[in-house]
Amino acid sequence: MHEMGIANAVLDAIRAETHRFPNGHIFKVGVRIGALAGVDPDAMSFCFEALVRGTELEPLVLEIEYCPCRSQCRACGRSYAASREDAICPACGMMESLFLGGDELELSYLEVENGARVVGT
């Protein structure tokens, strides 16, 4: 159960960004969580809501994009969803695959009201 720490890291990152939007309010944050990230999206949402409640960041919505494991067939190049290395390519039946993704734990975006006047980067 480390979702509280992860949710806290998301909020720290948001607080570090607020100076860029002096007249705006950040109302949504997008986070990508991969199937292999070891983070439970429901627990993450629960912790996030608990941490935001009663703070200056309220109201703030967390939008989680859950990313399945993705592999690419070494034989035919087809990309497909697979959580194991011995998965069989749906196109050509080969078992040799390359891990493409599925371990993401990334901040992808913020949505800001009146955020047009972005200061710096």
Residue 44 structure tokens: 């993450």
Is residue 120 within the footprint of other proteins (CB under 8 A)?
A: no
Both structure tokens of 75: 């034989």
Helix, strand or coil, per DSSP, at residue 117: coil
Candidate residues 22, 50, 77, 83; the one interacting with other proteins per rule CB under 8 A: 83
Residues sharing a CB contact under 8 Å with residue 34, sequence separation 6 or more, in sequence order? 66, 67, 68, 69, 101, 102, 103, 104, 105
Binding mask 19-58 for other proteins (x = CB under 8 A): -x---x--x---x---xxxxx-------------------
Binding site for other proteins (CB under 8 A): 1-2, 5-6, 9-10, 12-13, 17, 20, 24, 27, 31, 35-39, 83-86, 103, 105-113, 115-116, 118
